[in-house]
């Protein structure tokens, strides 16, 4: 009987140690997964924001930051660029596939085409971009004079014929939003295209409810600015939340990332 009691005590102690080890291992694995999620999400945000352009005193088409807040930002994301090889007429332009580069091909009813408008230095008129919604996309027609395959874009309106000179640069962009949002009693950093009506998709989370995302906008001198045309870099802070067992204190993982805007002055 005494041996049985001693055995039960020893087995109980071993079980307690194993249970505690299992919990610690699971908590560590969850923490590593959370850290990996935060890092991966921050990389996506850096890739999204680093290509933005701002021009002090520039037009809305020259400034890719449309609206900015402490936990949300609306911006124009570049998806590709190319050059006009032909202007078939009206609201139709054709880009050379060989000269097109970007994250993906243009998409109808989602993207806008930004056609380069040259300025007039003698009149102090700066270069700008004419934005037109893309209504349809086709790759059925080639560029003329043996220039190879083409990407034909039908636009929502006819641009001035004077702009449609072969070799004119065209940028493809879509309006995007990054923001902190609640879902299933948790907070997430989400992303969505604004031109399609799609629901926001989680990018990083779960995050701390009130301050899971903090966006700070800095000018060329590194000082905070509220002027979206003067933003030279963005400081992103993510605070991810790991809820432990009942009664335990949640673990918060914080990651701060600086995002210089490559197409902004002095960035």
CA angle 45–46–49, rounded 5-degree value? 80
Percent of the chain with pLDDT over 70: 83
- Map out the domains of the chain as residue ranges: 38-72+175-260, 76-174
118-145 pLDDT, tens digit per residue, is 877 776 667 788 899 999 999 999 999 8
By the 8 A CB rule, do 259 and 49 touch? yes
Q: What is the pLDDT of residue 95?
A: 95
DSSP class per residue in 199-246: PPEEEEEEE-TTTSEEEEEE-TTS-B-S-GGG--EEEEEEEEEE--ST
**Could you tell me the fold of the domain covering 76-174?**
Thrombin, subunit H (2.40.10)
Q: What is the pLDDT of residue 67?
A: 93
By the 8 A CB rule, do 254 and 237 touch? yes
pTM, rounded to two decimals: 0.76
By the 8 A CB rule, do 166 and 144 touch? no
Q: What is the pLDDT of residue 33?
A: 66
Query: What are the structure tokens assigned to 132, written together?
Result: 């037109």
Give the strand pairing for 101-102 and 201-207: unpaired
By the 8 A CB rule, do 172 and 193 touch? no
Indicate the burial class of 133 (C-beta count within 10 angstroms; 0-12, 13-18, 19 or more).
Answer: middle
Instruction: Decide: helix, strand or coil at residue 107.
Output: coil
Average pLDDT, the chain: 84
206-253 pLDDT, tens digit per residue, is 888 778 889 999 998 999 999 988 999 999 998 887 765 554 556 677
């Amino acid at each position: 009987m005494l041996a049985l009691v001693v055995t039960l005590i020893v087995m109980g102690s071993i079980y307690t140690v194993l249970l505690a080890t299992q919990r610690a291992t699971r908590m560590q694995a969850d923490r590593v997964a959370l850290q990996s999620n935060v890092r991966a999400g921050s990389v996506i945000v850096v890739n999204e924001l680093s290509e933005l352009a701002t021009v002090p005193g520039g037009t809305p088409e020259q400034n890719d930051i449309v609206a900015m807040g402490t936990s949300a930002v609306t911006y124009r994301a570049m998806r590709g660029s190319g050059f006009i090889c032909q202007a078939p007429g009206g609201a139709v332009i054709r880009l050379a596939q060989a000269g097109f580069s970007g994250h993906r091909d243009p998409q109808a009813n989602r993207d806008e085409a930004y056609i380069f408008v040259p300025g007039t230095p003698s009149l102090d008129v700066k270069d700008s971009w004419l934005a037109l919604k893309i209504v349809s996309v086709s790759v059925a027609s080639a560029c003329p004079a043996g220039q190879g395959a083409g990407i034909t874009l039908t636009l929502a309106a006819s641009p001035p014929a004077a702009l449609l000179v072969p070799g004119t640069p065209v940028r493809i962009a879509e309006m995007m939003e990054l923001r902190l949002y609640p879902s299933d009693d948790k907070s997430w950093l989400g992303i969505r295209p604004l031109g399609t009506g799609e629901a926001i998709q989680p990018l990083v989370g779960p995050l701390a409810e009130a301050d899971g995302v903090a966006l700070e906008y800095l000018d060329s001198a590194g000082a905070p600015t509220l002027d979206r045309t003067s933003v030279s870099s963005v400081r992103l802070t993510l605070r991810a939340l790991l809820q432990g067992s009942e009664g335990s204190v949640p673990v918060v993982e914080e990651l701060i990332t600086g995002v210089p805007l490559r197409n902004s002055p002095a960035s």
